[in-house]
């Protein structure tokens, strides 16, 4: 199977089996690493870039993963793949909207889906933490300190996300680039 078709199909599966946002990350990671297109560290980098870039996380990840794998045609194939489920489901939802508007079953389904999404996000948090905070088998104290500083700035001092990202980028360059920690 050609790589563009593999990329398209991988992102169709991701789009149909995740619920957008952070719940896509474990599936993207699994697809990218199982095909040998990226390492876990590269997926982590792509997720970080996708989070900083305006737009939906899944679409941004698809763009970056597709570009990394097969340049512009890869980005197009991955984007079409991740959008196919959304467009299909939106078209079906539009047709059946009146039927599902007050559906008790749909409310029950969503009650079951929410905990699954929380569990998937927790799994992503753990796996990305291992990649980002325990490089080389040992805990990276500067990375942990930077993460805690970011948490403090976001939660306690209510600093905006773009400012925290900018500060983190500068501190990351200083700590890990200039000082080589």
pLDDT of residue 29 exceeding 70: yes
Distance CA 151, CA 172 (A): 15
Distance CA 163, CA 100 (A): 41
pLDDT cut 70: percent of the chain above it? 97
> What pLDDT band is residue 166 in, cutting at 50, 70 and 90?
very high
pLDDT at 97: 67
CA-closest candidate to residue 110, choices 4, 19, 35: 19
Count Cα neighbours of 160 within 13 Å in the Cβ-side half-sphere.
4
Would you tell me how many other CB atoms lie within 10 Å of the CB of residue 27? Answer: 21
The pLDDT tens digits of the residues spanning 130-145 come to 888 886 778 889 999 9
Count Cα neighbours of 174 within 13 Å in the Cβ-side half-sphere.
8
The pLDDT tens digits of the residues spanning 1-28 come to 899 999 999 999 999 888 778 888 999 9
Please, what is the average pLDDT of the chain?
90
Distance CA 146, CA 181 (A): 12
The dihedral built from the CA positions of residue 111, 117, 118 and 120, taken in this order, carries a sign that is positive
Under a CB-based contact definition with an 8 Å cutoff, are residues 93 and 100 in contact? Answer: yes
pLDDT at 132: 86
Domain boundaries, the chain: 3-137, 140-181
């Amino acid at each position: 199977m050609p790589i563009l078709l593999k990329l398209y199909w991988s992102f169709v599966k991701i789009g149909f089996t995740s619920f957008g946002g952070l719940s896509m990350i474990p599936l993207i990671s699994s697809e990218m690493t199982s095909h040998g297109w990226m390492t876990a560290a590269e997926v982590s980098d792509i997720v970080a870039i996708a989070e900083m870039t305006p737009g939906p996380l899944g679409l941004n990840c698809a763009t970056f993963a597709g570009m990394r794998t097969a340049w512009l045609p890869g980005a197009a194939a991955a984007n079409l793949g991740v959008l196919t489920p959304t467009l299909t489901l939106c078209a079906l939802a539009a047709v059946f909207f009146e039927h599902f508007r007050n559906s008790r079953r749909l409310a029950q389904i969503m009650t079951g889906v929410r905990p699954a999404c929380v569990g998937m996000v927790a799994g992503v948090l753990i796996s990305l933490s291992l990649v980002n905070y325990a490089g080389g088998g040992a805990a990276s104290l500067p990375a942990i300190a930077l993460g805690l500083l970011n948490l403090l700035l976001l939660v306690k001092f209510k600093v905006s996300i773009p400012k925290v990202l900018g500060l983190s980028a500068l501190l990351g360059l200083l700590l890990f680039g200039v000082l080589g920690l």
